[in-house]
Amino acid sequence: MNRRRLLTVLGQGTALLPLWGLLGRAAAAPAPTTLKFSELYGRVTVRGAEFSDKLRALQGQQVRMSGFMAPPLKPKLDFFVLTREPMSTCPFCTTAADWPADIVLVIMPPGRELDPTVRGLSVTGRLDSGVRRDAETGFVSLVRLYAEQVSTQA
């Protein structure tokens, strides 16, 4: 896949801006806190997951997460699922894919779309947590990033 095609550089008004332009611009803002997949939950029991203290403390703030895009649902993405490892899902296991617990829904800003990719991604955006059901897709998410930047991992 053409790397220049891959990325929508948010806030720049063009999908074809070279990657370094994006990074240079990002450097102007205060560095967002890095959040790892292993830091999302404090404890998971049969009664459900508990968000970690770190996740709670970062609510509403800018964070950066690294991961992989789950197999996409459509050719252009206004949202996607970020996973810890590259994954594929079992067509016979379920009709609604068996997602691992530690996934993050990445929501692109209105009008911004992304091409699917298999490369590792670094996503910077506003963190939101808590159970939320998307009215349009029915997708229930626990952790969301309202993306401002999506780039391939360095």
- Residues lying near other proteins in the complex (CB under 8 A): 1, 41, 43-51, 68-75, 85-96, 98, 100-101, 115-118, 130-131, 133, 138, 140, 142
For other proteins, the closer of residues 100 and 109 by Cβ is 100
Query: To the nearest whole angstrom, how small is the minimum distance from the Cβ of residue 31 to other proteins?
Result: 28
For other proteins, the closer of residues 1 and 29 by Cβ is 1
CB-count burial class (<10 Å; 0-12, 13-18, 19+) for 112: middle
Query: To the nearest whole angstrom, how small is the minimum distance from the Cβ of residue 113 to other proteins?
Result: 13
Q: Is the distance from CB of 35 to CB of 127 less than 8 angstroms?
A: yes
Helix (H/G/I), strand (E/B), else coil: 54: helix
For other proteins, the closer of residues 31 and 76 by Cβ is 76
Chain centre distance of CA 111? 17
Query: To the nearest whole angstrom, how small is the minimum distance from the Cβ of residue 29 to other proteins?
Result: 29
Alpha-helical segments (H) within 1-152: 3-6, 19-28, 53-57
